[in-house]
Structure 1
């Protein structure tokens, strides 16, 4: 699930997943972090979900995927758009 917060000069996007699906650590990787795993690792929230917030330029488009333990790559169904094998995010 994606949560967006518009700011004056950027859009803060929070990437949210259930606490245990998939199990183990999960990173969001995309063109905004040069596809580097571990840069944006989801952390536990008080509501029992995992999340990480990334500040992106407003009115931009980004490709991303999630990477879980065991080299398990997956998309975010809430993104609503695909860029080849990747999820596409419009800010």
Structure 2
């Protein structure tokens, strides 16, 4: 898993590419991402499957904020990003949420 960030020239937007490696996908047929940026919708932001078995999606986010998120594999299994910027306790479960920090 990986997070790749690129900042707009005006410094207001951070395009984050969220990637789930083939190893982390563990044979999943579909993966979506749910988080603060899409009202925790488990269907609004699907990742695109690549030929090598990895998945990715690019999401523009506002600079200066932190966003919690998790991946949903095959509509039934929640996973964190192994390379998130940090983790914080999830408010409604005993697990942690991944966090991406959008600052330079």
* 2:23 is the counterpart of 1:11: no
CA RMSD of aligned residues (A): 1.7
Deviation at 1:47, TM superposition (A): 6.2
**Alignment check: 8 A CA contact 2:30 2:75 kept:** no
Unaligned runs of 5+ in 1: none
Unaligned runs of 5+ in 2: 90-95
User: After TM superposition, where is structure 1 displaced by more than 6 Å over at least 4 residues in a row?
Assistant: none
Q: Within 5 A, what are the aligned runs for 1:1-91?
A: 1-7=2-8, 8=10, 9-19=12-22, 21-22=25-26, 23-45=28-50, 49-84=54-89, 85-91=96-102
Q: TM-score, normalised by structure 1?
A: 0.88
Whose Rg is larger? 2
Q: TM-score, normalised by structure 2?
A: 0.78
